[in-house]
Every structure is written in structure tokens, then in C-alpha cells.
Amino acid sequence: MSEISMHRICKSFDRHKVLDEVNLEVEKGEIHCLLGENGAGKTTLMNILYGLYHADSGETYIKGKQVNISSPKVAQQHHIGMVHQHFMLIESMTVLQNIILGNEEGKFSIDYARSRDKVLDMERTYHFNFDLDKPISALSVGEKQRVEIFKAIYRGADIIVLDEPTAVLTPQEVEVLFHILDDMRAQQKTIIFITHKLYETMELSNSVTVLRNGKVVQTLRTKDATSQLLATMMVGHEVSFDIKKTPCRPGETVLDLKNLRVLPVADPQGISLKLHKGEIYGIAGVDGNGQQELESCIIGTSRPISGSIFFDGKEITNLSVSERKMRGIAAIPSDRLRNAILPDMSIVDNYLLGFQHHQKFAKYGFLGLNALRNHAAKMIEAYSIKVSSLTQPISQLSGGNQQKIVFSREAGLEPLLLIAAQPVRGLDIGAIDAIHRQLLELRDSGKAILLISTELSEIMEMSDRIGVLYKGNVIAERDADKFTIRELGLFMAGQKAS
Ligand SMILES: Nc1ncnc2c1ncn2[C@@H]1O[C@H](COP(=O)(O)OP(=O)(O)OP(=O)(O)O)[C@@H](O)[C@H]1O
Ligand SMILES: [Mg+2]
């Protein structure tokens, strides 16, 4: 008897069939990976299991018994927990308060002492170690995620769904997470794990279900799979990811950072670097070494502590975001949800966001709606973005497809400089390949690209030059082929060249 059995699940939005007779069997005490391209239906299927959505037809069985999971509350009664990609914690409250929220000990008032004891007890069982009195706002992304997982366990979950948990983590945090999941599996918890990273699937899971266009392609034991086989199943045809890079022919300087200090801990001389036309400059580094601050100083959402930024020969250190945009700086910010889209607005409107004054759309002070619609349609076609109409709210798109819209909007209007911060986070393998090719095409057409990424392989593969960011300083800079992976790793850990 399977722990979870979803049988012939169908789900449509409008007339668009998103899940088509989906069967899912998950065994107790296993880690089951759910794979599929952006928009394949992974999140939707799990939202149905967790009671956030209702299937149009089909049945769900938990431990052999048919259940009607009408809400997350009911899901919790069936011992199902879910950790969403966007955390649902209350930032101003402490770790302890968040964990016990809604499940407090005490009859009439909250018995914090007893709640704390219970939490500490469970922390020991499952090898967690929190500072219970810290506010959530002071935690790193990885810590917040661990609070979410623990909270689900605390509420009694023995089935836990994790929707792309590694997309937002650094490699070190991924390791910690994998230990935790290993531990949970050993304690007979059942885990459903959504990821786009095939090596994670191969490393972690016992079995895999691959979805394509809302249908199950196959469920198989991981030991019978290879990354290549899984990729082929996801995409529907053989895939090869050999990116051919032409030699770099750098032109004039586009971006010139002079002694830019973005972190208080940085040395006073700060970051100095030049980025040229036709060049991809990769910023490598462990998350939290000033990447975000550097990004926002160049985009214009914050100001450096000291130093100056020159763009196309002119100083822009104190210009506004929109002034920079008009001069030709485009950006794919790392925190897309907060900084790059308006979730309730339509896809078309989101294509306009930040480009209201672009010559292409604004003629004689009027907005050219047709031009805008045509542009949006062209981008959606060029980047194979899955949408049902141009007027649907962007929040209805799958995570990866929202991201492709941001990328195509920013890259599609021929910027002089593109800041690409974690540009492929959350994308499926086909989309990653497509975005990487687009970045190279932009570079070959003479654009300058600043690639900020915590993925070493991406930095190595894409960059012409690499700078390693450590505590707010670039502590090493070379042509990309002059670094070995090992050296890069050492610099990222703060070791100086020997
Ligand atoms: N509330 C909704 N209204 C309309 N369409 C929706 C809604 N939720 C999801 N969809 C559509 O269902 C399809 C599947 O989306 P889902 O989020 O399940 O994909 P996914 O496999 O999780 O993709 P990703 O890897 O990008 O996260 C998409 O085409 C999406 O636009
Ligand atoms: Mg999803």
C-alpha cells in the first residue's frame, strides 16, 4: 500500500488543461522527486494534495484510505505539510512564535515554557538547532527554510512536500538541507521534492515521477535512471547542452566601477572593475558577500557607501532607476517577485513595467498599446513562454514562466548593459540552455553583461572574465580560462592567491 496515491487527477484553469489523468504513487519513507519543465504542472499537483486547489476529477488516497482534502487544514489533519518556494513566515515574530503559531500549548493563554520544551525536544529528535528567540527577519534564506520544514514536522506532518527548496539556497545550504532530508527519511517520513536540478534528483531520491505538459511520462526507481534519460523524458526529445562560445572581442568600456564600497565591512578601496562591450563579466562568490548590494547600487535602488559608477562614459552614481534604465541599463534582479513584476497586473502590463518611456512604446507622449502588445507577443513566442492569454495576471503563470517574462522584457529591448543576477534560478534545463544562449548572443552583438551568480558552473561556462567577491571586495580577477574550479572555490572561501 502506497503512502500517497493520487489517481487520475485532472485540473483545468479556464479551458486550459493543466493536469491530465495524473497518477502519482509515493511510498512511505522515500524521497520522491517530481520533475518537469516550467509549467508542466508540478506545483499545481502538489497544491491539490495540500488542499490549496481542488481537482476537477480523480481521487487521492492516503495510507490506502480515500480522502477529500478540501483545505490545508484538512491536509494537516492527514499529516501532510508543504514548504512553498515563497516562505509563509511572519518576519517580525521570533522563530519560536512562528513554529508554534496556531498550535500553541496552553488552554487559555499561550504556555511558552511548555511550547519551548516541546520544540526543544523535537529539535533533538530531528537534529535541528535554532536560535528560538531570533526574529525571522534576522535569518538567512536557508535558516528560514529550515524553520518552515521544522514547523511542518511540529504540526505532525509525516508527508512533506518541498517545492523547489534548493532554488534559493547556496551550495553549502543545500548540503545542510540534504542532511536534514536524509535524517527525515531515516525516521520514516515521506518526502516529495520538486527540483530542476537533475544531479540533486540522482543524489537524493529513491524514485522519480516525470511530468510533461500535465501528463505523467513515467515513474521510475532512481537507480534505473540517468540524468540524460530524465532530461529526455522531461523535454520529450534528446537534449544536448554543448554551448559553443566564440572568442570574446571586448570593445569600449561600458561600466566602470571606481572604488565602490557596497558593504560596511569592505576594505576602503572597494570594488574597481571595468566591463566592456561584447563581454560577460562573472561575479562569483558565496551568497551574502555583497552581491545583492552591488546589484542594487548599479541598478539604482540603493547608493554605495562610497565610490562612483560610470556608465557609457558618464557618472551615474546618483541617478534614479528610471534615468539609468532610459540610458540603457537593464536588469534581471535576483529578487524578482519583489523587484521585477507586479503580480496582479496582466502579462502585457508587466512588459511595460520600467519601459513606460521607451521610444518603442511612447510616441509623442502617448502609449502605443499596439506596439506593446506586439512586442509582448513576439517575446512570448521567441522565448517559448507558456501563457493562455496576454491579459491574464502574471501571477497565474508558473514560476519559471514568470521569470522568462522578466528576462525577455529586460533583454528584449536592446540594452547597452544587462545586469543578470541569478538569471536561471528556478528554470528548467531547456530554459536554462535557452537563456544562456541568449546571453551569449547579446554579448556577441556587442552588449555588456554583468553576470552575478552563486552557481560556479554557470560562472565558469558563461564568463569571459571572472571576479570573486568576498566581503564586499573583488579579491581576485582573471580571464575565465585562467581560473580552475578549485582555485575559484578557494577564493570564494576568502583565501588569497599563493
Ligand atoms: N491559478 C491559476 N490560474 C490559471 N492558470 C494557472 C494557475 N495556476 C497554475 N496555472 C497554470 O498551470 C500550468 C502549470 O503550472 P505549475 O505552476 O503547476 O507549473 P510547474 O510545473 O510548477 O512549473 P515551474 O517549474 O515553472 O514552477 C501553467 O501553465 C500555469 O500557468
Ligand atoms: Mg512550480
Q: Is 227 inside a domain boundary?
A: yes
> Please, which residues have CB within 8 angstroms of residue 374's CB and are 6 or more apart in sequence?
none
**Which ligand approaches the C-alpha of residue 425 most closely?**
1
Structural domain of 49: 4-235
- Smallest CA separation from ligand 1 atom 8, residue: 396
User: Where a domain ends, among 173, 202, 235?
Assistant: 235
Q: Whose alpha carbon is nearest atom 17 of ligand 1?
A: 398
Residue nearest to atom 9 of ligand 1 (CA): 396
Asked if 222 and 264 sit in the same domain, the reply is no
Nearest CA to ligand 1 atom 28: 39
Question: Is residue 38 in contact with ligand 1, taking CB distance under 6 Å?
Answer: yes
- Average pLDDT by consecutive 10-residue portion of the chain (498 residues)? 96 92 97 95 97 97 96 95 87 92 73 88 89 90 90 93 87 87 94 94 97 96 95 84 84 96 90 96 91 94 95 96 92 79 91 78 72 90 89 89 90 90 87 88 95 90 95 94 87 75
**Cβ(333) – ligand 1 distance below 6 Å:** no
Whole-prediction pTM value? 0.83
Compute φ and ψ for 85, nearest 5 degrees: -70, -30
Assess whether the C-beta atom of 438 lies below 6 angstroms from ligand 1: no
Taking the centre of ligand 2 as the mean of its atom positions, its distance from the CA of residue 41, in whole angstroms, is 7
Ligand 2: centre distance to CA 244 (Å): 30
Report yes or no on 474 lying in a domain.
Answer: yes
Based on the fold, state whether residues 209 and 308 are members of the same structural domain.
no
39 lines ligand 1 (CB under 6 A): yes
Of 235, 265, 299, the position where a domain reaches its end is 235
How many domains does the structure of the chain reveal?
A: 2
Distance 344 CA to ligand 1 centre (A): 15
Ligand 1 centroid from CA 373, angstroms: 22
- pLDDT recorded at residue 357: 72
- Give the environment of ion ligand 2: residues with CB less than 5 A: 43, 399
Q: Which ligand is nearest to the CA of 52?
A: 1
| Residues 221 and 281 grouped into a single domain | no
Ligand 1 atom, smallest distance to 214 CA: 14
Question: Do residue 191 and residue 267 come from a single domain?
Answer: no
Q: What is the pLDDT of residue 363?
A: 67
Q: Give domain status of residue 497, yes or no.
A: no
User: Are residue 84 and residue 133 in the same domain, yes or no?
Assistant: yes
Best residue for ligand 1 mutational test, from 397, 406, 428, 435 (most atoms within 8 Å of Cβ): 397
Q: Is 210 in the pocket of ligand 1 (CB under 6 A)?
A: no
Shared domain for 203 and 285, answered yes or no, is no
318 and 276 inside one domain = yes
Report the pLDDT value the prediction gives residue 241, as an integer from 0 to 100.
66
Ligand closest to CA 195 = 1
CATH number for 80: 3.40.50.300
pLDDT for the residue 41? 96
Q: What is the pLDDT of residue 193?
A: 96
* 402 CA → ligand 1 middle, Å: 10
* Residue 372 near ligand 1, beta carbon < 6 Å: no
Ligand 1 proximity of 42 Cβ (cutoff 6 Å): yes
Residue 105 lies in a domain: yes
Q: Which one of the ligands is nearest to 400 CA?
A: 1
Residue 410 lies in a domain: no
Rounded distance from Cα 327 to ligand 2 centre (Å)? 35
Q: Which residue of 398, 406, 425, 435 sits with most ligand 1 atoms within 8 Å of its CB, as the best mutation to test the pocket?
A: 398
In a domain, 340, yes or no: no
Q: Both 479 and 430 in a single domain?
A: yes
User: 163 lies in a domain?
Assistant: yes
Both 196 and 121 in one domain: the answer is yes
> Are 451 and 308 within one domain?
yes
Residue 447 lies in a domain: yes
- Specify whether 290 is located in the same domain as 214: no
- Ligand 2 centre to CA of 49 (Å) is 14
Cα–ligand 1 centroid distance for 13 (angstroms): 9
CB of residue 257 inside a 6 A radius of ligand 1? no
Residue at which a domain ends, from 181, 200, 235: 235
Regarding whether 199 and 64 lie in a shared domain, the answer is yes
In this structure, which residue's CA is closest to atom 19 in ligand 1?
39
Pocket test for ligand 1, best of 10, 11, 43 (most atoms within 8 A of CB): 43
